[in-house]
Structures are given as C-alpha cells and as structure tokens.
A and B are shown apart, each in its own frame.
Chain A
Amino acid sequence: MTIKTVAELAAEGKSPEFLFWVGCAGSFDDKAKKVSRALARLLTEAGIEFAILGTEETCTGDPARRAGNEFLFQMMALQNIQVLNQYGIKKIVTACPHCFNTLRNEYPTLGGHYEVYHHSQLLNELLKQGRIRVKPDAFKGKKVTYHDPCYLGRANGEYEAPRSLIRQVFKEIEEMERHGRQALCCGAGGAQMFKESEKGRKEVNVERTEDVLRVAPDIVAVGCPFCKIMIGDGVKHFEKEDKIRVADLAEILQEALDSPSAV
C-alpha cells in the first residue's frame, strides 16, 4: 500500500488531519508491522486523512528514559518535537502504548503539545460514528480474552476503549483473573525488552501466558506491539501456537471489516 509522508503532503501544501506515529516496533518488527498495515487499512477505510513521518520518524526515547538514560530521552524528545512542530502536527494516532504515553504525557513538558490517541480509542470512535463497519459474526464461536498493556491501562487509565472495540465483534470477553487495574505485565516494559531478565524462577511472559492458558481462549487480543511479541513467545513456550492466536485489536477489526475493499 502507499501511504503518504508528512513531507510529501507538505510539498503539496497540505497537512494531514492525523499523524500516524508508527513507532520502532511497528516499523521494524515483523509481528508489529502487520499491525501497522492493519491500522493503515482501517484508517483509509474510515476516510481519515493521515500520513506518516517515514524516515523522519525516530524513537520517542521511551526505552532510554525507562532505562535511566534521561539525557538520551530528552535529546530524542526535543528532536522529535522540533520535527512535529515544524509540520504543525496537531493530532497523533499510534498503535504503541509506549509511544502513546510518551507523546501524550511526557512531550508537553518539553514543548510538544498534541492530541494523542491510542489506536483503540480512535478506532472505537470511528466504529461509533459508523465510519468503520464490521460483520458482527466474523469471529463466530471464537473465545477471546484481552490483555491490558501497562502503558495504556494503569499508566493512562484506558481500560474501556479496547474492550468496547472487542465487543463489536465478539459477544463477550472472557477476562483473565488478573485484568484491568490488576492486569499482570507481559514483561517487556521498562526496557526489559532489550536485555536479559535478572535471575529468578521464571520469565514474566511465561507467568502471564499461564493466565492466558487458564482462560483457554482462541484469541488473545492485545493493544501493544511488545505485548504481542511477549505473549506470542509465551504461547510458543507452551507449544500452543496452533490453538491460541495473539492478535492486535487493529488486526481483529480489519479481519471483521464489512466492506468490499477489505481482503
């Protein structure tokens, strides 16, 4: 698919309504790239005018900040803010709760003020407005559970938008015992994604996947590229990958699209 960059639009003298902030995982990780494509399709379907930064996008600095490298974080943030402000970006949507949290909460202190949406929030809004229509029976007979990402849930208090989105295509959500405020981390946050874990009894993603297995769903819905990787690995650890599918909210919605252009 072709997606315009903000620079290309600027050359035409235009600016997008939404910047789609793809994030490093969404740009480079194979599992997450699928989510980026699904989200782009959905936004197109809904007729949203959006663009990406393309090669002008860089890491928000989140993993550096969580790992204690405040210098690097601030450098990245100030550079990104310069780019965003120069293009006059007002609204941002992203499928990564870490980018979402950093752009929304941490950039304002450094001079970057934007209206930032996690994709579950925007998609939910588009569903409500009827700009996206789904076949309610797309996942008939399938059991779904939802894993709250820490940076969407506890960090930003958003528990409802993803659930309301899921309920559009599934009759009900089979909750894990630890969910919502009490949801267990997938183990990736705080820069853990980029290092070996400290010594202990087990990996955090295995502990979380055990929660998933107790529910025995067909699909685990996630709203974060890192959760997708971590729980995906956990499911593989238990050799359940042909029984349990880990899918992002955007992928679920895209597969349920009620539209001729959806393939």
Chain B
Amino acid sequence: MKYLPNILFFILLSAGIGFFTFQIKKIIRYVRMGRPTDRSDRPAERWKTMALVALGQGKMVRRPLAGIMHILIYAGFFIINLEILEIILDGLLGTHRLFAPLLGEVYDFLIGSFEFLALGVLVACGVFLVRRYGGRVPRLVRSGDLKGWPSLDATIILFTEIVLMTLFLTMNAADSLLQERGAEHYVRAGAFPVSSFLHSFLQGFGENTLIFLERFCWWAHIIGVLAFLNYLPYSKHFHIILAFPNTYFSNLEPKGKLRTDENVLKEVKLMLDPSAQPEPVESGSLPSFGAKDVTDLTWKQLLDAYSCTECGRCTSECPAHLTGKLLSPRKIIMSVRDRLEELGRLRDKHGPDYKDDKTLLGHYITPEELWACTTCNACVEACPVNIDPLSVIIDLRRSLVMESSAAPAALNMMFTNIENNGAPWQFSPADRALWTTES
C-alpha cells in the first residue's frame, strides 16, 4: 500500500498524456484535410518570425495594457512549467521537492520567482476578467462573434488559471509552514516570498490539517494541469501551442500578393495555347476553382483556424466591421474551425471521403460577409499569431464567382468592361492616352 499514491499518479499522468496525444493526432488529421501548400522555404526567416511573433510576442505589445498583461500570464505559464517537471517526478518517485538538495540556493531563487510569477498571473487574470465583463472593450463583449461557447470558453480559461495559481500558492504556504514547524518529510527548501503572506490564515491549523491541505493542493493542482492540457484542443486556448507552428509557417510573401489558383492557370493556359494538351482528369473529379468548403482551403488556412485566439484584434481594425457591415474576419476564421470540426467528426465516423450536404460557403459564411471586404489587410496586420483571414475571403469569393457565377451585378459589369475595353469602366481603349493632351 506504500506505493499506492505513486501508482495512482502514474495512471493519472499516463491517461492525461495519452488522451492529449490522441487529440493532437485527431487535429493533425483534420488539418491534413486541406490542400497542399509549400511553406518549407527560407527556414532561417521562419525561425526568426516565430521567435519574434510567438516567443517574443512582438505583435501583442502594440496594445500596451493587454500586451503586458498577456506577457505576465505567458511568462508565468511557461516558467512555472519547470516546477511541473519536479511535481511529476515527485509524484512518480514519492519524493518531496526532489530538486531542492540538487540545486541548493538556486532552488530557493527559482521557487521564489515562481511565486512572483504566480502572483503576476493572478493579477493579469483579474485585469482580463474586468476587461471581459466590464463591457468597455468592444471586441470582447459577450455577444456577436463570442456569443455562447466562445465567451464561456474564455471565462473557463481565466477561472482555471486563477484556481491553479491559488492552489499552487496555498500548497507552498502550507508546505513552508510545515517546514517551519519541523514536520517530518518537510525539509527546509525553497523561498516563499508571496505565499508566506498566507501563513496568518493557516497558523491556527494543526499539523495534520496542514499536511492534508498541502497534499490536497498538490494533487488538485497537478490534476488540474492535466485536465487543462486536455481542455486545450477544444478551446481557443490551444493557441499557446499552435502559435509556434502557425507563425513558423507564416506567409513570408508581401501581404498584397494573392495565391495563384493553379487549377485556373491550367485552364487559362489551355485557352491561350490551343496546341497544349489537357492533363488527364483524375477519375471523376473535375478541378474546382476557389474554395467552397474547408477541404478546398490549404492546410495552412486550417491550421490558422485552430490557432485563432478569438481576440478580435482583426475585427476591431476591419473597416467593414467598423462601419457596421456584417463582415468580421474573426468570425470567418471561427467558422472555418467550426466547419472543419464538424466535417472531421463526420469523416471519422463515415470514412475519409464522406460528404454531407453542408459547405463552409453558404452554411457558415454568407456572400454578404464576403463582398464587404476591401482587401485592406488590416486584419492580417493586426493578428498576433499571423493568421490570414483575407486569404480565406478571397478563396471563397473565387468559388462564388467562378463556380456559381454569383458576383453582384455591378461586379459582373466591371468584369465585362475589363474584358471588352481593358478597363473596369466603360471607356474606349482608344482614349487611353487622351490625358496627355488635356490640361
């Protein structure tokens, strides 16, 4: 029975990590449903982008308050994870503060810093809750894009972080008090600059109660961490992992350059060069133009969808949204994720070629949203994890125009003008140089 806690811990840990791996595999499978695109060039530039944007939070600090608070949580999250390593080893080996004798004073310094970071996380989460519930930050209000699950998700994340940090600090407080009282097993280790303020609340408790409290917090904390890990793939919080690959695979071309639709190019070349031979069409599948569903998007666009933090920075700078149009680039990205999850689950159940009667275009995103975009790139510029909502909008427009001939009448007129007069307006091409002789 002596090893019961160790065994229990081992089972918990394996289940937590095992299920997480299972979920990651599922998401990789879904992302691979997208079309190919090559993002393997210029590795040095890619690492640099990742270092600046994801690791360095380069785009977050453009909004100073949110940026700095975010860095507090982010640093807390990452650095406190060093402590998780010790917790895991303690759990498996049945030791207590395994690293303390190995690291000596460094250990005190580390634990002390973790405590400050935990405090920082608590403060930042508090500020974020006020921002979310205060109704003063339009992009965070709990209506519109964030109605329902997305705003509940945001609340769950903040509360979980608050609970985890509180458990961590309470555990430390009970531990250090036990150390002071010279309880068995609780050797003096660590410095507790923050949690020692909690001592006054705990002084009245006896040794057994304190041990119970310390153990309870220890277990609750690590169980909470494992549960949170497995919550990530369902949540916008998944960005803490995907921000890294997503920025690595960023578009490195100028933002104004649109992707050439290769299927269209093949057709156009055939039209211009009658001697060219059409490629044999693959069994039963005619080439499609643009994107009608998530499977017509590239894997990078699908990865974008899973990386979205739902922060709304894109939408808050979108000229269409700012002037009351239906378009919200955040919602475009969220729709891609929702549809991908839906289709992915269906394909898991019915096989990889399964098609339902829904599509991204039409059932999730309407033409009215798409036609409001000015292709200004404000959303792309604003996104802290280098997501490209504009590329999705353009691909869907392509499908509307080239597959369904569903452009607004005025745009069809513009197309006709370009075809006939070489200009989007109805002017005679013969008058093109008149400007030189007018005054």
Contact = CB atoms under 8 A, between A and B. Distances in A.
Nearest to B398: A68
B53 to A, nearest CB: 14
B265 A68 contact: no
Interface of B: 253-258, 260-261, 264-265, 267-268, 271-272, 289-290, 317, 319-320, 322-327, 368, 371-378, 380-382, 394, 396-402, 407-408, 410-411, 413-415, 418-419, 422-425, 427, 429-439
A197 B374 CA distance: 10
Q: What range describes how many residues of A lie at the interface?
A: 35 or more
A110 interface: yes
B424 A194 contact: yes
B324 A28 contact: no
Pick the most buried of B253, B260, B396: most chain A CB atoms within 10 A of its CB.
B260
Given A1-B436, A157-B254, A74 B264 contact: yes
A207 B260 contact: no
A197 B319 contact: no
Given A75-B268, A196-B410, A27 B323 contact: no
Interface of A: 1-3, 5, 22, 24, 26-28, 33, 36-37, 40, 52, 54-55, 57-59, 61, 63-72, 74-76, 78, 101, 104-106, 109-110, 150-151, 154-157, 181-182, 184-185, 187-204, 206-208
Given A55-B430, A191-B411, A154 B374 contact: no
Contacts of B439: 37
B394 A22 contact: no
Given A55-B433, A67-B411, A197-B325, A155 B402 contact: no
A180 to B, nearest CB: 10
Contact of B415 (A5, A69, A151): A69
A185 B378 contact: yes
A37 B325 contact: no
B390 to A, nearest CB: 9
Contact of B435 (A33, A150, A185, A207): A33
A52 B433 contact: yes
A69 B402 contact: yes
A67 B317 CA distance: 21
Contacts of A58: 418, 422-423, 429
Nearest to A61: B418
A195 B401 contact: no
Contacts of B434: 27
Given A194-B413, A196-B410, A204-B374, 15 more contacts: A24-B424, A37-B435, A58-B422, A59-B422, A67-B414, A71-B267, A74-B264, A105-B256, A110-B260, A181-B381, A185-B378, A190-B375, A194-B410, A202-B324, A207-B322
B8 to A, nearest CB: 53
B381 A3 contact: no
Contact of A201 (B323, B397, B424, B436): B323
B408 A195 contact: yes
B320 A26 contact: no
Contact of A198 (B372, B411, B430): B372
A204 B422 contact: no
